[in-house]
Chains A and B, each alone.
Chain A
Amino acid sequence: MNNIIYSVIFYVLAAMVIGSAGYVAISKNIVRCAFALVYTFLGVAGLFVLLSADFIAATQVLIYVGGTLVLILFAVMLSSRISEIRISNQSVGRVPGFFITICFGAILIYVAVSGQWPVTEKVDFSPTTASIGNALLGKWLLPFEVVSILILSGLMGAVVIARRKRMPKGDEK
């Protein structure tokens, strides 16, 4: 019984993720794309829960849905002439794009299905937050610190890039 519920939830989430991701990739309207992306991220978060990764799922919702997506929406709203839907999200070179996509998808799916993956014994669902914390401040401390420096420099770079250059008057509204 449990297995059936698990399967149903998985297939629903998978359909949601794949469907919305496909929409993101194909749709002509970029605003709709951005909203479809919400469903993709939420679906992925759900998959994380199924994979007993509670902390990652929560992070996914907080950072992706709450942060990244809002940023993307900002970018969309600020930059595109949304009213002109025709040009807001044109796509080009569809034929080679589709070709490469299909090739890659086929390879990956083939590998996923045919690969002999090592499978260890099942574990119970248990909270992972504490052990992630220990790992981050123990085994992965150096990468953690490096990432923090990277983020600092990245944000500083973002600020520098986004700052308005001083331009002659009248050049910019």
Chain B
Amino acid sequence: MAHGMYYNSLYLALIPLLPLLGAIINGLSGAAIQARLDKSVIHVTAVATVVLSFVLSSIGFAKLALDPSVTAIHAHAWTFLAIGRLTVDAAFIMDRLSAVMCLVVTFVGSLIHIYSIGYMKNDPGYWRFFAYLNLFMFSMLVLVLGDNFLIMFMGWEGVGLCSYLLIGFWYKDINNARAGMKAFIVNRVGDFGFVIGIFLLFWTLASLPSGSSPVGHASLVFHEIEATLMNPAIRQAFTGNTLFHIPAITLICIALFVGAMGKSAQIPLYVWLPDAMAGPTPVSALIHAATMVTAGVYMVARLHFLFSLSSAAMTWVAIFGAVTAIFAAVIGFFQHDIKKVLAYSTISQLGFMFIGVGVGAYSAGIFHLVTHAFFKSCLFLCAGSVIMGCRHEQDMRKMGGLSIFMPRTNLAYLMACFAVSGFPFFSGFFSKDEILYQAFITRNMLYPRLGIFIWGIAVLAAFGTAYYMFRSYFMIFTGPYQGDQSHIPEEQSQTITFVILLLAFFSAVAGFLGMPEIFGVPNLFQDFLNPVFESSKPYLHFAHGSLSLEWLLMGMSVILALAGAFIASRLYKDAVHPLPEKLLFLENKIIRLAYDLIYHKFYIDELYQRTAVRLVMTLKNISNWTDQHIIDALVNFAALIGKLMGNAAGTADAKGVDGIVNAAADMVFTAGSGLVKIQTGRLRHYLGVALAGGGILVIGNYIFFT
């Protein structure tokens, strides 16, 4: 990627800026438009801007795909910062990786905007919703297209903000507002790691021996860092750098990955995502399934040239991905809320993506990201349709038999279920299988055979995925209708069914873009992305898998997926099997315990409540107590001493110096009593304190620094 032609075009900046324009229009005048004109003005503005950026993204994508000499489209808007050796530009870059991301984001985004027209049509905050949604599109596209860390970070924070705004969209319910805050705060933890990672990276790069690099080390631009690290001498110095006796590169990658863990809801920072389902369903589909949560995966893939250098960091990423995949899948077994099931499924699938990028199969990870965007947003939108059809009922136990009432939603949900479970020839099958295969043959882990262990966990998670997805399908769409009998669920409007059927179609067929080569066709997706990951090829090692091994692994995952679906169908199809009911009332202690543990999500939320939250609250209480008891006591004590000194001085001294002494005592007393009640509200007290502080600074500066 470092060598090649850059095609400069400021039109690239329009891709993120168009949704921003929509957000500005709707955000500033949406209320007036809604009151005076018509809602259609609002959604036409919102949808048109996003569709236009989709068109522009497609043009950029076509340019990259058709003209192999162009490695990237670049748009330099203005110089954002220039401090010393650091120059940061407000610049966008579209290489093949960001082109893929851009297409996914704008395509799914457009569809979900259209879907929202139907879904939000009776909401009084219609304009607000579309303004936030457009703002989210802007932030996400900035994240994807940013050509350096700072621009990416701005997008990164922007999507966090929009996520917060949209989770708490119905802010009148305190629980929704809390869920938004939880998401925001948990993400802060991750973002802290991200920032530390950026600082560490810049610091390490800037401390390299200078002179041999064409672009200068002190850069935060992705392709400049990549080009710098192409130089063997610099790379050697870079990877040799240590901090606390740990290789700096490992620390950098782990810190950056902590950011990805927060944004992409990996253990242990996943707790916000299930709660984020409090937002409107299109938001869950767009932000918390298809786009924002995959930002962490994108970031790792974007920084492949860093992660590939540290097998420790890659191991870390892959292990966390694998553990998250199985963990979330198990929690998904017993959830009753349809959106919660999908949320845990998302966490689990994100784990798969991290396995992919962690073992060094970047294009496989990104491929799964793309297919996941299709089938998971399809699932969420179907769930939205079902929830609307059942009059805002989210409990799957109160649904059932909806295949009769909502045939189109049924079809779409089933397709997406096939895709997510990895049924042969559906999209999830190809992408998940590629990840599993690459995990099996990877040699990039700290311990050579660790990949097989990760593969084992991932296969189990895939089995679990098939089980809980089909469990949800059978609970919702088969058997008798369990809900409120006074009304019949009905199919939603054309806009909604059109969108979900389109997405279902893509969930079914998108996989053919990335068919593995054993089928005798070129893997288009991988071939397209390969040039991006070219520079990290030398550090990545894979065992030579044989054809039979690949067929064998594929067969195994197919069998497991079928088994998962089969078990689910036996237990839940038509709601005739008594086991689920029985399980609920089982007295056996061990099973009961296991059930409770999983049903309560391993008590992780409670654990955090007891530890982190309580720690913070205790700290707060301690400082409060210290403030009230110790500090005040100190102040009172100081005042008392001042008073005593003043009194003693006043009485003890002779008449001649009485005046001066009294003044001094008075002064001390005044200062003392002032300290007791620092906040007097009197201007001159504040001014006096400020001046005294300033004076101390000046004098101190003079004494110590001159």
Q: Is the CB of B667 within 8 A of A96?
A: yes
Q: Judge whether A93 is part of the interface by a CB distance below 8 angstroms.
A: yes
A107 — which chain B residues lie within 8 A by C-beta? Answer: 695, 698-699
- Proximity string of chain B (650-674) to chain A, C-beta cutoff 8 Å, 1 when within and 0 when not: 0000000000000100110011000
- Segment 25-78 of A: residues with Cβ below 8 Å from B: none
Q: Is the CB of B691 within 8 A of A100?
A: yes
Q: Judge whether A99 is part of the interface by a CB distance below 8 angstroms.
A: yes
Cα separation A92 to B666 with both chains bound (whole Å)? 13
B667 — which chain A residues lie within 8 A by C-beta? Answer: 95-96, 99
Q: Is the CB of B688 within 8 A of A96?
A: yes
Q: Is the CB of B695 within 8 A of A95?
A: no
Q: Judge whether B684 is part of the interface by a CB distance below 8 angstroms.
A: yes
Question: Taking the nearest CB of chain B, how far is it from the CB of A106, in angstroms?
Answer: 10
Question: Taking the nearest CB of chain B, how far is it from the CB of A117, in angstroms?
Answer: 14
Q: Judge whether B648 is part of the interface by a CB distance below 8 angstroms.
A: no
Q: Which of A92, A93, A104, A111 contacts B691 (CB 8 A)?
A: A104
Q: Judge whether B644 is part of the interface by a CB distance below 8 angstroms.
A: no
Q: Judge whether B692 is part of the interface by a CB distance below 8 angstroms.
A: yes
Q: Is the CB of A100 within 8 A of B699?
A: no
Cα separation A92 to B692 with both chains bound (whole Å)? 18
Category for how many chain A residues contact B: 10 to 19
Nearest A-chain residue to B687, judged by Cβ: A100
A156 — which chain B residues lie within 8 A by C-beta? Answer: none
- Proximity string of chain B (669-706) to chain A, C-beta cutoff 8 Å, 1 when within and 0 when not: 01100000000000010001001100100110010000
Q: Is the CB of B670 within 8 A of A93?
A: yes
Known interface pairs A107-B698, A107-B699; A96-B670 also in contact (CB < 8 Å): yes
A92 — which chain B residues lie within 8 A by C-beta? Answer: 684
Nearest A-chain residue to B671, judged by Cβ: A96
Q: Is the CB of A95 within 8 A of B692?
A: no
Cα separation A111 to B663 with both chains bound (whole Å)? 28
Question: Taking the nearest CB of chain B, how far is it from the CB of A14, in angstroms?
Answer: 24
Known interface pairs A96-B667, A96-B671; A103-B684 also in contact (CB < 8 Å): no
Question: Taking the nearest CB of chain B, how far is it from the CB of A121, in angstroms?
Answer: 27
Q: Judge whether A170 is part of the interface by a CB distance below 8 angstroms.
A: no
Known interface pairs A93-B684, A95-B663, A96-B688; A103-B695 also in contact (CB < 8 Å): yes
Cα separation A103 to B694 with both chains bound (whole Å)? 11
Cα separation A99 to B663 with both chains bound (whole Å)? 10
Q: Judge whether A97 is part of the interface by a CB distance below 8 angstroms.
A: yes
B695 — which chain A residues lie within 8 A by C-beta? Answer: 100, 103-104, 107
Nearest A-chain residue to B667, judged by Cβ: A95
B691 — which chain A residues lie within 8 A by C-beta? Answer: 100, 104
Cα separation A92 to B680 with both chains bound (whole Å)? 14
A104 — which chain B residues lie within 8 A by C-beta? Answer: 691, 695
Cα separation A96 to B666 with both chains bound (whole Å)? 9
- Number of B residues near A (Cβ < 8 Å) is 13
Question: Taking the nearest CB of chain A, how far is it from the CB of B21, in angstroms?
Answer: 25
Q: Which of B663, B666, B688, B698 contacts A100 (CB 8 A)?
A: B688
Q: Is the CB of A95 within 8 A of B666?
A: yes
Nearest A-chain residue to B689, judged by Cβ: A100
Question: Taking the nearest CB of chain A, how far is it from the CB of B684, in angstroms?
Answer: 6
> Chain B: interface secondary structure?
helix
Cα separation A97 to B674 with both chains bound (whole Å)? 13
Question: Taking the nearest CB of chain A, how far is it from the CB of B692, in angstroms?
Answer: 7
Nearest B-chain residue to A101, judged by Cβ: B691
Q: Is the CB of B670 within 8 A of A95?
A: yes
A96 — which chain B residues lie within 8 A by C-beta? Answer: 667, 670-671, 688
Cα separation A97 to B692 with both chains bound (whole Å)? 11
- Proximity string of chain A (80-97) to chain B, C-beta cutoff 8 Å, 1 when within and 0 when not: 000000000000110111
A95 — which chain B residues lie within 8 A by C-beta? Answer: 663, 666-667, 670
Question: Taking the nearest CB of chain B, how far is it from the CB of A94, in angstroms?
Answer: 10
Cα separation A93 to B671 with both chains bound (whole Å)? 11
Cα separation A104 to B696 with both chains bound (whole Å)? 10
Nearest A-chain residue to B698, judged by Cβ: A107
Cα separation A140 to B260 with both chains bound (whole Å)? 44
B663 — which chain A residues lie within 8 A by C-beta? Answer: 95
Question: Taking the nearest CB of chain A, how far is it from the CB of B680, in angstroms?
Answer: 11
Question: Taking the nearest CB of chain B, how far is it from the CB of A25, in angstroms?
Answer: 13
A100 — which chain B residues lie within 8 A by C-beta? Answer: 688, 691-692, 695
- Proximity string of chain B (568-592) to chain A, C-beta cutoff 8 Å, 1 when within and 0 when not: 0000000000000000000000000
Cα separation A42 to B688 with both chains bound (whole Å)? 29
Cα separation A1 to B706 with both chains bound (whole Å)? 39
B702 — which chain A residues lie within 8 A by C-beta? Answer: 111
Question: Taking the nearest CB of chain A, how far is it from the CB of B85, in angstroms?
Answer: 27
Question: Taking the nearest CB of chain B, how far is it from the CB of A41, in angstroms?
Answer: 23
Nearest A-chain residue to B699, judged by Cβ: A107
Cα separation A111 to B701 with both chains bound (whole Å)? 12
Q: Is the CB of A97 within 8 A of B698?
A: no
Cα separation A103 to B684 with both chains bound (whole Å)? 16
Cα separation A103 to B666 with both chains bound (whole Å)? 17
Nearest B-chain residue to A91, judged by Cβ: B684
Question: Taking the nearest CB of chain A, how far is it from the CB of B673, in angstroms?
Answer: 11
Nearest B-chain residue to A103, judged by Cβ: B695
Cα separation A103 to B695 with both chains bound (whole Å)? 8
Question: Taking the nearest CB of chain A, how far is it from the CB of B65, in angstroms?
Answer: 45
Nearest B-chain residue to A92, judged by Cβ: B684
B699 — which chain A residues lie within 8 A by C-beta? Answer: 107
Known interface pairs A103-B695, A104-B691, A107-B698; A97-B684 also in contact (CB < 8 Å): yes
Cα separation A111 to B667 with both chains bound (whole Å)? 26
B666 — which chain A residues lie within 8 A by C-beta? Answer: 95
Question: Taking the nearest CB of chain A, how far is it from the CB of B683, in angstroms?
Answer: 11
A111 — which chain B residues lie within 8 A by C-beta? Answer: 698, 702
Nearest B-chain residue to A99, judged by Cβ: B667
Question: Taking the nearest CB of chain B, how far is it from the CB of A167, in angstroms?
Answer: 26
Question: Taking the nearest CB of chain B, how far is it from the CB of A29, in angstroms?
Answer: 20
- Proximity string of chain B (164-206) to chain A, C-beta cutoff 8 Å, 1 when within and 0 when not: 0000000000000000000000000000000000000000000
Cα separation A107 to B692 with both chains bound (whole Å)? 12
Cα separation A100 to B690 with both chains bound (whole Å)? 11
B688 — which chain A residues lie within 8 A by C-beta? Answer: 93, 96-97, 100
Question: Taking the nearest CB of chain B, how far is it from the CB of A92, in angstroms?
Answer: 8
Question: Taking the nearest CB of chain A, how far is it from the CB of B677, in angstroms?
Answer: 14
- Segment 83-140 of A: residues with Cβ below 8 Å from B: 92-93, 95-97, 99-100, 103-104, 107, 111
Cα separation A100 to B699 with both chains bound (whole Å)? 13
B670 — which chain A residues lie within 8 A by C-beta? Answer: 93, 95-96
Cα separation A104 to B692 with both chains bound (whole Å)? 9
Cα separation A99 to B688 with both chains bound (whole Å)? 10
Cα separation A93 to B692 with both chains bound (whole Å)? 15
A99 — which chain B residues lie within 8 A by C-beta? Answer: 667
Cα separation A97 to B667 with both chains bound (whole Å)? 10
Output the residue of A92, A97, A100, A111 with the most chain B CB within 10 A. Answer: A100
Question: Taking the nearest CB of chain A, how far is it from the CB of B250, in angstroms?
Answer: 46
A97 — which chain B residues lie within 8 A by C-beta? Answer: 684, 688
Cα separation A103 to B697 with both chains bound (whole Å)? 13
Q: Could you give 24 example pairs across A and B, Cβ below 8 Å?
A: A92-B684, A93-B684, A93-B688, A95-B666, A95-B667, A95-B670, A96-B667, A96-B670, A96-B671, A96-B688, A97-B684, A97-B688, A99-B667, A100-B688, A100-B691, A100-B692, A100-B695, A103-B695, A104-B691, A104-B695, A107-B695, A107-B698, A107-B699, A111-B702
Extra inter-chain contacts (9) besides given A97-B684, A100-B692, CB under 8 Å: A92-B684, A93-B684, A95-B666, A95-B670, A96-B667, A96-B670, A107-B695, A107-B699, A111-B698
The 10 closest A-B pairs by CB, nearest first: A95-B667, A100-B691, A95-B666, A95-B663, A96-B670, A103-B695, A107-B698, A100-B688, A96-B667, A96-B688
